[in-house]
Amino acid sequence: MTEKRMSRWYFGGLASCGAACCTHPLDLIKVHLQTQQEVKKRMMGMALHVVKTDGVLALYNGLSASLCRQMSYSLTRFAIYETVRDMMGSTGQGPMPFYQKVLLGAFGGFTGGFVGTPADMVNVRMQNDMKLPPELRRNYKHAIDGLYRVFREEGMRRLFSGATMASSRGALVTVGQLACYDQAKQLVLGTGMMGDNMLTHFLSSFIAGGCATVLCQPLDVLKTRLMSSKGEYTGVSHCLRETAKLGPLAFYKGLVPAGIRLVPHTVLTFIFLEQLKKYFGIRIIS
């Protein structure tokens, strides 16, 4: 008789919130780098500029919106992916094939990306606010205030500005994170050299974070530009054309800080998730 622990549907959201609290400054710097019209500062230069201009706490601007985003976007995608994966795994047919994990991850990520678009937009705006002149700053007090003011001042449609891009990015990053994590963990455990422990979780999530960074960076750049715009882009295709004028590397602007942020975020998310599963998961005895 063996005991196994299954994740509860909301564990992914909680784990992502824990990771976001640790990596939020990196996310803020990434947004600042991506919204530069010209490459004026690198990662360390931007971090020092933010601290000198607005203080150390400015690195946590928009944290409430980031947490709100994780409890909508990440909770949704993890809930869909893990619930369906565990349901299919309980049939006794063994692990899902990789292509099914990719399809499931894409569907869960696309859905989560759409659900999390309003919080994601407020998150980008709050992080980017300090770059604007004082008279143009939106000065949202927190995530809920931002959501309410966008709805009141700009309408429901504006809340879902960039939803196509956010959903597409969500699909790619979920494939990179969840599907690749599961596959990497399966392959590592299959070697018989390592057990289901912290080192395995770290190695698998590190691989997943790298895959997710490369897959989603071009869409992440476009999404950030659309969400932080003040009407200069008429749509996704216009934003794509304007970004393309800056050259192919413009789509990978901020790749290093994006990786520096996304890889640790992925590692922390899965380590937190595995610990939540270990101590508070649903017990399955077979």
**DSSP states of 128-174 as a string?**
HGGGS-GGG----SSHHHHHHHHHHHH-HHHHTTTHHHHHHHHHHHH
Give the CATH number, domain containing residue 23. Answer: 1.50.40.10
What per-residue confidence (pLDDT) applies to 34? Answer: 67
What per-residue confidence (pLDDT) applies to 39? Answer: 56
Q: Domain residues for 183?
A: 3-285
The angle subtended at Cα 181 by Cα 122 and Cα 286, nearest 5°, is 115
What per-residue confidence (pLDDT) applies to 1? Answer: 57
Q: Tokens in use for 178?
A: 């969840």
Residue 97 DSSP code:
P
pTM: 0.82
The angle subtended at Cα 235 by Cα 232 and Cα 236, nearest 5°, is 115
What crossing angle do the helices spanning 98-115 and 180-190 adopt, rounded to 10°? 150
- Among left, alpha and beta (phi > 0; psi -120 to 50; other), residue 55 is left
What domain count does the chain have?
1
Rounded CA gap, 242 and 244, in Å?
A: 5
Nearest alpha carbon to residue 213 among 75, 39, 26: 26
Q: Can you give the pLDDT of all 286 residues of the chain as single tens digits? A: 567 788 899 999 999 999 999 988 888 887 777 666 665 677 788 888 888 887 888 888 878 888 999 999 999 999 999 999 988 877 667 788 999 999 999 999 999 999 999 998 888 888 777 777 887 888 888 889 989 999 999 888 888 987 887 898 899 999 999 999 999 999 999 988 898 999 999 999 999 999 999 888 888 788 778 767 777 777 778 888 888 888 877 887 777 777 887 899 999 999 999 999 999 988 877 6
